[in-house]
Amino acid sequence: MNAVEFHQFTKRNGEFVLGRLDFQIYNGYITGLIGPNGSGKTTLIRSIMNLVLPDSGEVRVFGQSYRDKEREIKRQIGFVYDEDFFYNHLTVLEMKKIVSSFYPTWNESVFQRYLHDFQLPGRRKIRDLSKGMKTKFALAAALAHEPDLLIMDEPTSGLDPVFRREVLSILSGYIQEGHRSVLFSTHISADLERIADYIVYVRNGQLKFSGSKEELIDSYLLVKGPLECLQTNRFRDKVIGLQQNALGFEGLIAKEGLSEDDIGSRVTAEKPSLDDILVFTREVR
């Protein structure tokens, strides 16, 4: 059973259309959700939480429909958003009491362990916490009710590099039992390269890729060389994105149907990063 399934999902917001999406988030893995600002990532996340209803198609979570099992589904989902949804006049422990009351599976010992590990001041008011501390509290609260699906929306944007790496380690450990899944939306593509198993890539409201991280990266090459090679090499028509300066060019090309002879000896080719793929495909429609 997949953690999440989108079937012919369509949502219109003014002139923007998130259109006819079919993909799944596999159970037991970490899936990265990537795409430029305004591509539809937030709408997809909100639809998984049943906060956005499709104009057509459906979203199924744990093989179930929100029409029949909304409370049961939401109790199995943990979420950490970039925005602050807590009552700022309450302390960390007072807010914890409210959050824990919604989840029959709340594990107080797990929460207390993260409270200690994250060095969260339980008696400090939410409004006095830094953005990083608020993220730590949201993560502790999400993990404490031991959800089957953990949704992370830009969770590491306010964290220092040391704690960012700690969060990634926690997520990797969280799915080890095999029945838990993580959906991780972030602009820090290096984080996804470190831990993601699968990638869902949306751009301009359209699904551009859904599959393993390795499959996405292995479908492109990052090429660099002198400007004159752009006119003489046969890969010119395969260039997806291109940057040029006085010293030469750098671009992304699709590997499908490409041979070594197409590239030539004066052009270097290497495996791109997820960031390279995002940068060079952002203007492609």
Claim to verify: residue 193 and residue 134 sit in the same structural domain? yes
pLDDT one-digit tens code per residue, 106-143: 999 999 999 999 999 999 999 999 888 898 899 999 99
What are the angstrom distances between the C-alpha of 214 and each of 84, 135, 195, 197, 228? 34, 29, 12, 8, 32
> What CATH code is carried by the domain that includes residue 33?
3.40.50.300
Claim to verify: residue 72 and residue 98 sit in the same structural domain? yes
CB burial readout 59-97, b (16+ within 10 A) else e: bbbbeeebeeeeeebbbbbbbbbbeeebeeeebbeebbe
Are the C-beta atoms of residues 224 and 235 closer than 8 Å to each other? no
Claim to verify: residue 79 and residue 131 sit in the same structural domain? yes
Are the C-beta atoms of residues 274 and 281 closer than 8 Å to each other? no
Claim to verify: residue 260 and residue 202 sit in the same structural domain? no
Furthest-apart CA atoms within the chain: distance in Å? 68
The tokens describing 224, both together, are 């660099």
Q: Of 182, 216, 250, which marks where a domain is finished? A: 216
Claim to verify: residue 212 and residue 236 sit in the same structural domain? no
Claim to verify: residue 29 and residue 149 sit in the same structural domain? yes
Claim to verify: residue 120 and residue 59 sit in the same structural domain? yes
Claim to verify: residue 26 and residue 137 sit in the same structural domain? yes
Overall domain count for the chain: 2
φ, ψ for residue 33 (rounded to 5)? Answer: -105, 115
Which residues in the chain come in under a pLDDT of 50? 285
Claim to verify: residue 103 and residue 242 sit in the same structural domain? no
Q: What was the pLDDT predicted at 233?
A: 63
Q: What was the pLDDT predicted at 282?
A: 73
Are the C-beta atoms of residues 128 and 56 closer than 8 Å to each other? no
Residues 6+ positions from 190 with CB-CB distance below 8 Å: 273, 274, 275
Domain with 146 in it? 4-216
pLDDT one-digit tens code per residue, 39-55: 899 999 999 999 999 99
Q: Whole-angstrom Cα distance, residue 254 to residue 263?
A: 12
For helices 131-144 and 92-100, the axis angle rounded to 10 degrees is 30
Q: Whole-angstrom Cα distance, residue 269 to residue 283?
A: 22
Claim to verify: residue 10 and residue 90 sit in the same structural domain? yes
Q: Quote the pTM value.
A: 0.90
